[in-house]
Structure 1
């Protein structure tokens, strides 16, 4: 029997999923931030911890795994791979493939070997592969390099919107009360001064406050989410045009918690419009399983195994990670 391991390492969590050659899940693991761009030591710890948990649950050793496929946030350029290969080998992996986390989201969301994927989680990313196997990534860095949004930017948008409403530059917003509750303040002025005096940062969870406010018609929340959709639509269009996919039939897979958990069309509607204009034959697909499933399928395929309908059926809606505790690293 052959065994395979898929790993999805993102900016806030890392998942590992282990199966046999028939796609039967034997082990799973979870840890924290796995993006080396925000700390290689922490990323290595998270990847090792998640993989070790999956191996422990299965009763297997790492040297018994035929192939590991790692979808890693921050695996963008040669300079990243120059860091990642030694890091992954240092953990003990010898038979492995590294790719960006956008591509495992794409693999998890479509039955075709080509298409486009958009991620909107802690950050944003867009990438695609055409019929000829040519790959292109658009963005995935930060605001200075053309990106907008993701939880690591929309949290700041929420905070500054509340500040601007408080100081009179914008109209009142429904974001104010939930942000104060989240951060533990009675008044905006107290929050404002405390953050200024102590150099505090806004937690990622603040981005999620946009969805209930938008559902109640808050103009500021709706504008932020619409801008996020417009920006992701531009990224999708750029990938489509760069890969000459305008006349193709393919899926645009939406992944990341801000697209799959909470959005009611505020972000996805502008994306859909941009995609239709760029490639009328494309279909928008919201990822219904964890992207780590795409990493596991890619691990099997890297060893020459074709993903059967039975394997698709077993794992298409796999969602069993939220109940796995995450260990907090002690420095």
Structure 2
């Protein structure tokens, strides 16, 4: 039986997209549902298999297809961070029935979605942070992304929000410099006085109820206004992001030109250009490579489809196919957003 279809999966910590396309790059079907991440279930990979298999079989069955029709699959999955996790997830995917597939952390989807070359570096700076690189020869490397300062994961909304709170606490009790962020933070979190500050901060951290986005907005606004404390936070995180990017780059076999794709809400929806400016300066100090910066304004899920098509053909897709895939998924996203707003 001819294998005329591909499946691309973008599996995040909260939701998963399953896409079915034919090998010409034409859309067939799509399922958007909850997470398939093994890290979100008590029985880990057992539930990851059950959920992925159920959705993929549904995708196939309602289109009168089977795994015999699938030429290739590409999986970008949250929680695919270290070798043992990737080995277990490969076993899950093979148990579903895939024989020709690629699996890696979801950061790698940004490379395929953002660079028409099909290789480069993706720096994710969203709620968390991760760096993924794919070299011209196809070698891959992930730097960070495990949620720990041990691996330089010192960016992302969760980290930056805590840095803002730490700056305010330092100004109160640890001989820290005064900062313009103090009053807006106290007002935002409705903290009655500095004596209650640490209680509110710890409670919000433990319950994961901190208003991370708004805390970052306070930091960006203060930095734009020249606040030295906020500027130091931005400078530090830009430095850490740059070290992960260039470290990833230098451990792979890149030529002189390297595409750097910037993905995630902090990069894409940055309230200030300062972070990018600082990051770019650090990158250029650390490497002699010519870096081309690309803001990822298309859904990362396009990377899963494009990667699966590339795997099926043995080379990156042509520009017309690439544009068609991206346009299709962008339109799906827009229609889903309209549907949710009307519900």
Superimposed CA distance per residue, residues 94-138 of structure 1 (whole angstroms, 9 cap, x where no aligned partner): 344312222211111111132222112232222323333333332
Q: CA deviation at 1:62?
A: 6.2
- 1:156 aligned partner: 162
Instruction: Give the 3 Å change call, closer, same or farther, for CA 194–140 of structure 1 in structure 2.
Output: closer
Give the alignment's Cα RMSD to 1 decimal.
3.6
For 1:137 and 1:296, the matched residues in 2 are separated by: 20
Match of 1:210 among 211, 216, 239: 216
Contact 1:12–1:122 (Cα < 8 Å) also in 2: no
- 1:273 aligned partner: 281
Instruction: Give the 3 Å change call, closer, same or farther, for CA 308–200 of structure 1 in structure 2.
Output: same
- 2:317 aligned partner: 307
Structure 1 residue runs of 5 or longer lacking an equivalent are: 326-331
Superimposed CA distance per residue, residues 189-226 of structure 1 (whole angstroms, 9 cap, x where no aligned partner): 44532565798344475145313541352544333233
Question: 5 Å matches for 1:143-292?
Answer: 143-167=149-173, 169-174=176-181, 177=184, 181=188, 186-187=192-193, 189-190=195-196, 192-194=198-200, 196=202, 200-203=206-209, 205-216=211-222, 217=225, 218-245=227-254, 248-277=256-285, 278-292=287-301
For 1:57 and 1:208, the matched residues in 2 are separated by: 44
Q: CA deviation at 1:295?
A: 0.8
Question: 5 Å matches for 1:39-118?
Answer: 39=41, 40=44, 44=48, 48=52, 51=55, 55=59, 59=63, 63=67, 65-88=70-93, 92-95=96-99, 96-118=101-123
Relative to structure 2, which stretch is displaced further, 171-180 or 95-104?
171-180
How many residue pairs get aligned? The number is 322
SS of structure 2 residue aligned to 1:250: strand
Question: 5 Å matches for 1:32-43?
Answer: 32-37=34-39, 39=41, 40=44
Contact 1:126–1:137 (Cα < 8 Å) also in 2: yes
Q: CA deviation at 1:233?
A: 0.8
Superimposed CA distance per residue, residues 71-110 of structure 1 (whole angstroms, 9 cap, x where no aligned partner): 11332332112321344456x3534431222221111111
Structure 2 residue runs of 5 or longer lacking an equivalent are: none
TM-score by length of 1: 0.79
Instruction: Give the 3 Å change call, closer, same or farther, for CA 199–229 of structure 1 in structure 2.
Output: closer
Instruction: Give the 3 Å change call, closer, same or farther, for CA 208–193 of structure 1 in structure 2.
Output: closer
For 1:208 and 1:34, the matched residues in 2 are separated by: 29
Structure of greater Rg: 2
